[in-house]
């Protein structure tokens, strides 16, 4: 399966993804990476940046995603992390977050700090081997190694309650986003 998501640059308060990755905002570019299908995130009750992003962080860290892929990124004692992950923020969510002065960097930082699971959860879910030990309930494993591993994309329509999480297809060695320029068609 493959799919394409176009950024909503016209309504986005932020730089487009390709501009964050070294291109001019006016350039045409495409960013590709191996990933799972989008996971819908709905949050219409608590319209604050923290409320929206807490819901997204929870969807990012579910046990059924690539978070439980062992032997993933970096050298860590747990061996469990997502390589990169894309977060699509649309409509009212984008407005709610940006009107409170949150930049994409703020969004990535918040998500990196809050998208995590305990070692005990990962052991219960089969993502880590072994029995639950003392301290496992208080030891957290982040979904990503660093905030920069979260690709924030402003896309979608005006449906205010929707966003999406797109987990990569395993560790960075198997799925690292790459952005390439796209030349206009001849005669354009």
Domains of the chain: 17-73+81-116+142-179 (3.30.1330)
User: Distances in Å between the alpha carbon of 162 and those of 31, 38, 73, 156?
Assistant: 22, 12, 29, 9
- What pLDDT shows up at residue 72? 47
Give tens-digit pLDDT for 94-146.
Answer: 888 899 999 999 999 999 999 999 999 988 988 788 999 999 999 998 888 88
- What pLDDT shows up at residue 110? 97
Give backbone dihedrals phi and psi of 116, rounded to 5 degrees, phi first.
Answer: -160, 165
- What pLDDT shows up at residue 120? 93
End-to-end CA distance of the chain: 31
Query: With 0-12 CB in 10 A as exposed, 13-18 as middle and 19+ as buried, what is 28?
Result: exposed
Mean pLDDT of the chain: 84
- What pLDDT shows up at residue 151? 94
Give tens-digit pLDDT for 52-92.
Answer: 999 999 999 888 766 555 554 444 454 546 678 899 988 78
Dist. CA 69–CA 65, nearest whole Å:
8
pTM for the structure as a whole: 0.88
């Amino acid at each position: 399966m493959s799919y394409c998501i176009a950024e909503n640059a016209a309504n986005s308060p932020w730089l487009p993804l390709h501009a964050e990755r070294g291109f001019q905002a006016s350039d045409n570019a495409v960013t590709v990476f191996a990933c799972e299908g989008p996971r819908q995130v709905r949050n219409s009750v608590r319209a604050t940046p923290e409320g929206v992003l807490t819901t997204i962080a929870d969807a990012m860290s579910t046990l059924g995603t690539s978070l439980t892929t062992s032997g993933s990124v970096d050298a860590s004692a747990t061996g469990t992390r997502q390589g990169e992950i894309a977060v699509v923020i649309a409509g009212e969510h984008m407005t709610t977050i940006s009107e409170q002065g949150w930049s994409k960097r703020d969004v990535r930082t918040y998500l990196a700090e809050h998208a995590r699971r305990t070692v005990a959860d990962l052991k219960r879910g089969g993502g880590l081997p072994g029995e639950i030990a003392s301290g496992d309930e208080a030891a957290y494993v982040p979904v990503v190694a660093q905030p920069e591993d979260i690709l924030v994309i402003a896309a979608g329509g005006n449906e205010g309650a929707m966003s999406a999480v797109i987990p990569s297809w395993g560790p960075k060695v198997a799925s690292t986003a790459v952005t390439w320029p796209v030349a206009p068609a001849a005669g354009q």
